[in-house]
Amino acid sequence: MNPFTRRADDAPHWRHEAACYGEELDLFFPVGVAGPAVWQVSQAKAICEGCPVRAQCLQYALRTGQDHGVWGGLTPQERRELRRADDARGA
């Protein structure tokens, strides 16, 4: 379940400020890594780029172990790489 479909009292407080608020959520949760999914990721990242709560979104995804979708402008693979780099630095 993502924070935009959870009960209001469970959802992150920043969600209403997100640039993606009101956007079609399927855009942020593409199926696959080729074809239309490439376009979806590109479009999702473009929305995230200017988001005022991008950092909070990314931190939420990292803290809660989100392993699907674009969060804070990063794909699951990019978030895994970020976690590995943090682990290697001892962060």
Mean of the per-residue pLDDT values of the chain:
87
- Per-domain residue ranges of the chain: 15-89
**Stretch among 19-28, 39-48, 78-87 having the lowest mean pLDDT:** 78-87
Residue with tokens 């696959």: 32
The reply to whether 51 sits in an annotated binding site is yes
Give the DSSP H or E segment for 57: helix 54-64
The reply to whether 56 sits in an annotated binding site is no
The reply to whether 77 sits in an annotated binding site is no
Please tell me the pTM assigned to this model: 0.81
Q: How confident is the model at residue 88 (pLDDT cuts 50, 70, 90)?
A: confident
How does pLDDT run across 54-71, given as a tens digit for each residue? 999 999 999 999 999 999
The reply to whether 48 sits in an annotated binding site is yes
Do 36 and 27 meet the contact criterion of CB atoms below 8 Å apart? Answer: no
